[in-house]
Structure 1
Amino acid sequence: MDDDKNDYNPEEEVVTGNWNTPKVELKEVEIKTGEEDESLFWSGRSKLYRWVEGEWKERGLGESKLLLHKKKGIIRFLLRQEKTLKVVANHYIYPNESYCKLVPNAGSEKIYAWTVKDFAEEPKIEQFALKFNTADAAKLFKQKFDEAGQVNLKLLDSQGNLKEKVEEKKDDDKKEKKDDNSDNNKKTKEDEEEKKDKVEKDEKKKEDEKENVKKDVKEDDEEKDKDDKTKDDDTSKDEKEKEVEQKEDVKEKEEKEKEKDDKRSDDKKSDEEENIKRED
């Protein structure tokens, strides 16, 4: 212990620093339940059971609700577990021979059972039973449940699907088909324009080839005419040169003849002079 005291160094002790806890700003997050566009048609505290593997098993305890959509007018059944708020039942009310037909369970006036295609977790056919504290509460539930079914009959098709969604799907299919037709028409038009352009290009190419042939023929004719002219010029030149040569030959002959005549005349004159001298 004495050694530990001797090893203590006050300078090594941390005595300064910022020990305040940093402030964290928490932003308010808006939580949506999916019920914002709905109004309450009916509600009641109850316990939900589900038929699983040949027996009724508790599904959840909480506030059962019939919710009316403000715009679409459709009514659905919803139940959340009151502790976890987990959705344990969620479906439209569509009464027919198979679905949403309330029947008392085990002869009890407090329990009603029905079969339905539920969407709480995944689309699945479920058999539910709803238990109330009193028979009056159960009776009121049945009354409101049946009323909701009559309201929904006008809004659901024979398959229990919302007609608005079906119409939207049909409209989407029509739009998609129209778009496909539009694309096909556009493609056909583009193909026709491309074909037309090709025909025009081919015709232009043929016209250009014809023009080139004409041009070549014209150039050949001009070249031929030029050659013929050159040939004619050469021939004419040769003839002229020949004519000049002939004239020069004639002139030369004439000069020679003249020289001969002059010589003869001189000789004759000389002879005459000689003769005169002799006579003298």
Structure 2
Amino acid sequence: MDPHGDDDEQVGEDYNPEQEVFPTGNGDATLNKVEVQTGEEEDEEVAKFRAKIYRFADAQWKERGVGDLKFLKNKNSNKIRLLMRQDKTGKLIANHFITAQEGFCKLSQLKTADKSWIWTCYDASDEQAKVWQLCVRFTSPEEVERFKTEFEKAYENNKAVKAEEPKKE
């Protein structure tokens, strides 16, 4: 039975279009499969890390969440962006291109933690994109170095892609 179908013969008197769970008649219930667009369909994963991310706001570091931090390369533009979703909720907590622009995306180590990197970016994980300072923390020194390597590769890649773009006049 298609709960969203227009066929009047299949729609019973107790049909509720707001209902998400549909009884099957034998005591079980079924959920409709819903295709969800994540915005990652045109991207290819370059690298993935487990991390905790913070954002500098109101003169202090505020935790954004823990999850998988990914470097994603767009199949059409070849630009690489950093994307992170919070575990359990899937909420976007970091989403920005590794920009080869003065003052942006230059890694530096946090003075108080040797397993952390900080950088400034134009992050679009909230309703409005805004310039933020982000900090990411890892569990091992190996992951810290691997992240630095991937971040710098992405920076150089995006710098080369930008140089190849035709100049707008």
TM-score normalized with structure 2 length: 0.76
1:147 corresponds in structure 2 to: 153
Q: Report the secondary structure of 1:155's partner residue.
A: helix
Number of the residue aligned with 1:182: none
Match of 1:117 among 112, 122, 126: 122
CA shift, 1:69, in A, is 1.0
**Distance in 2, Cα, partners of 1:51 & 1:129:** 8
- Match of 1:70, as an amino acid? K
1:126 has 2:152 as partner:
no
CA drift of 1:136 comes to: 1.0
Alpha-carbon displacement from aligned partner over 1:4-45 (angstroms, at most 9, x marks no partner) = xxxxxxxxxxxxxxxxx7758753211121111111111100
**How far 1:70 sits from its partner (Å)?**
1.5
RMSD: 2.4
Pair 1:33 & 2:53 matched: no
Identity, % of aligned positions:
34
Q: Which runs of 4+ in 1 moved over 3 A?
A: 21-27
Match of 1:109, SS state, is: coil
1:112 alignment partner, SS class = strand
Give the structure with higher Rg (CA).
1
Unaligned runs of 5+ in 2: 1-22
- Check conservation: 1:60, 1:81, Cα contact below 8 A: yes
Name the residue aligned to 2:56: 51
Query: In 1, distance between residues paired with 2:59 and 2:141?
Result: 26
Higher helix fraction: Structure 1 or Structure 2? 1
Structure 1: runs of 5 or more not aligned:
1-20, 158-162, 171-280
Whose strand proportion is higher, 1 or 2?
A: 2
Selected match of 2:99 from 94, 109, 117: 94
Distance 1:22 1:96 in 2: 57
- The Cα of 1:53 is off from its aligned counterpart by 1.1
Q: Which residue pairs with 1:82 in the alignment?
A: 87
TM-score, reference length from structure 1: 0.47
State how 1:1-280 maps to structure 2 within 5 Å: 23=25, 26-121=31-126, 122-156=128-162, 163=165
d(CA) in 2 for partners of 1:133, 1:22: 47
Higher normalized contact order (CA 8 Å, seq sep 6+, divided by chain length): 2
Contact in 2 for aligned 1:94/1:156 (Cα 8 Å): no
| Count of residue correspondences | 143
Amino acid at match of 1:75: I
The separation in 2 between residues aligned to 1:44 and 1:22, in whole angstroms, is: 41
Counterpart in the other structure of 1:235: none
| Distance of 1:58 and 1:42 partners within structure 2 | 22
TM-superposed deviation, 1:135? 1.2
